[in-house]
Amino acid sequence: MGASRIPSSTSSSSLVRVAVSCARGLVFACFFLLTLEVAARVEQWLKYGAPLLGSTLEYVIDADIGQVIAPDQRGRWVGRDYDVAIHTNSAGFHDVEHRLQKPHDVYRMAVLGDSFIEALQVPVEQGFAQQLQGALQGWLNEKRVEVINLGISGTGPSQYLQVLKARGLAYRPDLVVMAVHPANDFFDSYGPLSGSLTKPYFELDPTGELRYIAPQTKAIGVVLSPLLRRSALFMQARKAITRMPIEAWFGRWGFLSPSFGVASVQPNDVLPVEWYVYVIDPPDPWPEAYRITLRTIEESKKLAEQHGAAFLVMLIPPTATIEDRWHEVLAPYPGSKHLKFDFARPSDAIMQQGRKLNFQVIDLTEPFKNAFQHDRLSYAWPHGDHWNARGHQQAAQVVSSFLLAHRAEYGLK
């Protein structure tokens, strides 16, 4: 006898039941995750007073410069201390619109930097770029001043160099200002420390030349990460796995940037990894991170000057230095007592490089410390290190005073 056959109607019914079961499971899973998302947002609202919708900015992964805010969008950037309406320009930066062709009567400055320069924590008119433009324009009558904000969160000098190449030079700037925040820029500049797949990097080849490493745009985590960043549930889960092995796994797929990188550094309870930039004789791979960071600053200077622009660096100190709070900041890390710190070490390295390569370095540390000691008013938001409006204004005043004092050197008449 031949094998009996299952009637086609029975087979079809089984497939339908499986499909219905899968659909129900998917609906339940979506409902469950939605419930957790709502609960996470309500918790943020109750604990911090943050709006239930949270930040609404969309991000894209640009093949040249990595993750950047989507151009021509309106949204909100929300934190515990601020809720700011954001309107990005057509280039994807938190700035007013700038046309590429430079008018003959314009003195144009391009400012490279991280989230301090991007300045999503304040309205665009209160950010450093617009404050600097206004401060200079009040003294200069022969030309209009235009300051272009090219700041991108989570970046360092390696990315600044690539942004200058891929975006900044097209504006034909007369002056390139690189704003360096030593507290995390050396970390962000070096791929094995930062661990983010969505940023461009550089490494030194055997001949000592810089080799470009393009950002990844196709990995599933890279594609989904801009959406996940808007989820309060994901961000809470992200905090929960900080410094755990699973964090590195998610980092390798591009879902997040591990707090301790993905390869060269292992998590420890002694000190947050990015703060090893202040440690005397830090462990590997920090010496290489220093070399890469300083080298990309050097290449940025060369590139700017090759295209007819002057170049200078502005150093942004952490609030702990300005307000003399490093003892308080390090208190949760008792193991750090066995380390030797030099909180001026990264800034001194850049200033030494400036003297060697003949470019000016504006260190904001002393002006900010002196101003804070005078009025005891912080230049940063209470829950974070980013500048409030006063911080942006103070930085703009320091830089504009320097440029006016050296106007002949920088072509300012």
d(CA 347, CA 277): 10
> What token pair was written down for 200?
């461009």
Domain ranges within the chain, ordered by starting residue = 15-49, 59-405
d(CA 139, CA 238): 48
CATH of segment(s) 59-405: 3.40.50.1110
Give this prediction's pTM. Answer: 0.82
> What token pair was written down for 197?
């797949």
Specify the pLDDT at position 238: 53
d(CA 307, CA 240): 47
Cβ–Cβ under 8 Å, residues 213 and 200: yes
d(CA 224, CA 73): 19
> What token pair was written down for 25?
């499971």
Specify the pLDDT at position 7: 56
Which residue stretches of the chain have pLDDT < 50?
1-2, 6, 52, 241, 253-254, 256, 258-267
d(CA 295, CA 39): 47
319-329, pLDDT tens digit by residue?
A: 999 999 999 99
Specify the pLDDT at position 19: 76
Specify the pLDDT at position 262: 38
- Tell me the sheet residues that pair with 212: 202
321-371, pLDDT tens digit by residue?
A: 999 999 999 999 988 989 999 999 999 999 999 999 999 999 999 999 999
Specify the pLDDT at position 348: 98
Cβ–Cβ under 8 Å, residues 117 and 128: yes
d(CA 365, CA 315): 8
d(CA 296, CA 282): 20
Specify the pLDDT at position 240: 53
Cβ–Cβ under 8 Å, residues 110 and 176: yes
43-99, pLDDT tens digit by residue?
A: 655 555 555 456 788 888 899 999 899 999 999 998 889 999 999 999 999 999 999
d(CA 152, CA 68): 7
Beta strands in 15-105 (DSSP E): 59-62, 66-69, 74-78, 83-87
Task: Collect all residues with Cβ–Cβ distance below 8 Å to 107 and sequence separation of at least 6.
Answer: 140, 143, 144, 145, 146, 174, 175, 411, 412
> What token pair was written down for 60?
């894209």
